[in-house]
Amino acid sequence: MILVQLVSYAFGTLQVSLRFRVAIAGSVLTSKMSWGALFNGRSPNTKQFHKMFKTAVHGNLKNARASVPLTKFFLWGHRGDILFVACQKLLKAVTSCRATRPGIRLKLDTPVFNAIRKALDVFQCNIDAEGRVSWSHGSWDTSAPLGFCDRFAHNLRVQWRKIMLRSWLSK
């Protein structure tokens, strides 16, 4: 964790464009922080991740006053939401596992699925007994072939964007 904090500080000192720092932070910090998240049955520390991401993108500027939901939505994108990325990665891993092992039954009463159920509630998604995640205008079927993951992930990102915009509008 300390190494990731040092890396985020180093990114903030780079003399490159803001867009480039966002891309680096999204590809490096998000991957490191989301790896294994939810597998221990707990949600990742979103407050600490948000602070590290902000440090990596804006450096040590203390006067960043932009709306957090709008900054996440327009500047950082979905990679700025560690809980969302962890959910997406775990769903892809479950889909991959089920694609390579046809007929495998999911045990939804495990700490992993309890954690993902809580995380998916934040994005107004539900998981049913068959391992299908659904939301108002889409779903992710973990028993589908692996080739469908990109489309499922895109649809889930659309749901995330709607939630972020609604969060901003409600404030």
pLDDT for the residue 150? 93
Entry pTM: 0.65
User: Do 69 and 164 touch, CB atoms closer than 8 A?
Assistant: yes
Each residue's pLDDT tens digit, 158-168: 998 888 888 87
For 55-112, the pLDDT digits (tens) are: 766 666 555 555 566 566 666 667 778 788 888 989 999 999 999 888 788 888 888 8
Q: Residue ranges per domain, the chain?
A: 2-66, 83-169
pLDDT in tens, 108-127: 888 888 888 999 999 999 99
Contact 58, 12 (CB under 8 A): yes
| Confidence at residue 169, expressed as pLDDT on a 0 to 100 scale | 77
Whether the Cβ atoms of residue 38 and residue 55 lie closer than 8 Å to each other? no
Angstrom distances, CA of residue 136 to CA of 14, 92, 154, 158, 159: 41, 20, 14, 11, 8
pLDDT of residue 77: 67
User: Per-residue confidence at 40, pLDDT binned at 50, 70, 90?
Assistant: low
